[in-house]
Structure 1
Amino acid sequence: MTVLDRGSRPLANADHDVAEVVSQSLSDDGVTIINDASVTAVNDGADATTVTNKVGGETKTIDAEAVLLAVGCKPATADLGLEKAGIDTDDRRFITNDEYLRTSAESVFAFGDVNGGRMFTYIFLDDNRILADQILGEGRRSTKDRGAVPYTMFLTPPVARVGLTEKAGRDLGYDVKIGAKLMADIAVAPRAKIEGDPRGIVKFVVDAKTAHILGAALVHVHSQ
């Protein structure tokens, strides 16, 4: 498998050490990642699909049995007649809403992909809690008190993250302490070794002044 990535490195939002471990795991499984790549053409042939791409100004081609094109998401709201219902949208056709997920139409809420927020299943679940509090609770819960929402990338081994990365913590002015160790070197976590896949890393970002955990990245068997 070959991945053509427009970015300069995989997992651009993760710390370098975590991204390197994940990249190595993918490489071990036969995945080739080409960074700074821009796809210019995809042509179906009799026996293969040819993907033309540019890397560093050089044009290259890859023959593939199948091509998965991932170019982002957009809301399917164009034909819903939202204007007739008095529901406002932004310039990308996402439904606009406030911190309580209320739209411009009374008693109409927008949550999940359609409201233009971060597109994670875990965000949708928290949106659901906000909506439930609006309808059945005290109506206090909002996106502003969402806190750190964990999420998972379903790779092998999976990547689970929550809170701040080391870089984000330093950028925000925290005096951070780092606790990081490769799974293969953690004697008290034998399950990965027992299952025959000790790849991965565990990393915690801690506020040195308060000892509060600011964030964590868990890359190992069953981390999700």
Structure 2
Amino acid sequence: MKKIKWTDVRLVLMIGVVIFLYSFSSKRNESRHLVKSEVRFLGDNNLFITPETVDNLLIQNFNKVTGIRKDKLDLNRLEHILDSNEMIAKAEVFATIDGTLKAVVTQKTPIARVDSEGSSYYIDYEGNQMPLSDNFTARVPLISGEITTENKKQLTDVFRKIHDDEFLKKNIIGIEISPTGGLIMTNRNYNYQILFGRTINVDKKFDNYKAFFQHAIKDTLIGNYKTINLKFTQQVVCTKN
């Protein structure tokens, strides 16, 4: 008869106890109710959507957070609800051991504002429409003229370059889209028009404008300029009042 090794028996019993305690703890944890919720925003501190709105989206099928059992949570569904919001680019939702329902939210980034035929909205960084916010107004170029499926991508590239460049972001406050597709831009501090032309050679045109501005700002007559023409990539052509 094979001799029983009590060391092996103790090991099996210990493993069994660990499995039981883990299972019991997990079951008990799942049956617990949440005690609170927390919303954290990543990136820009300017909030286009409030934490209260996000919180309400998380618990919209319950009266309050403390009425939600952890085992009834569908985290994928909650993330989908938040991701579907027109102000939110991406959301991550999870529940902690201490019973906190947490949402980490990345907002959409507006890069232009369109005012056309009674409708007003932002263009976000991905080129999609984003509604205006009652909570905060973004300082982005005001766009007039028609944005179509044909010119949307090229225009979004222009808006992005302005947004990503600190100098242009501070200086360009308006863009008019002409029926022929050309762009006319306005400057924050001076009354001249920037005749940008069509959305080609965009980097070169902006480089030319920045070089012109750095040189012209030293000229006390810069306020007398009427137009700054960037259509010719080899030179900047200016007219004065």
Q: Quickly name the TM-score band, shorter chain normalised.
A: under 0.3
Using CA pairs under 8 Å that are at least 6 residues apart, name the structure with larger relative contact order, 1 or 2.
1
Under a length normalisation based on structure 1, what TM-score does the superposition of the two structures give?
0.22
Structure 1 or 2, whichever has the larger Rg, is 2
Under a length normalisation based on structure 2, what TM-score does the superposition of the two structures give?
0.21
More helix by share: 2
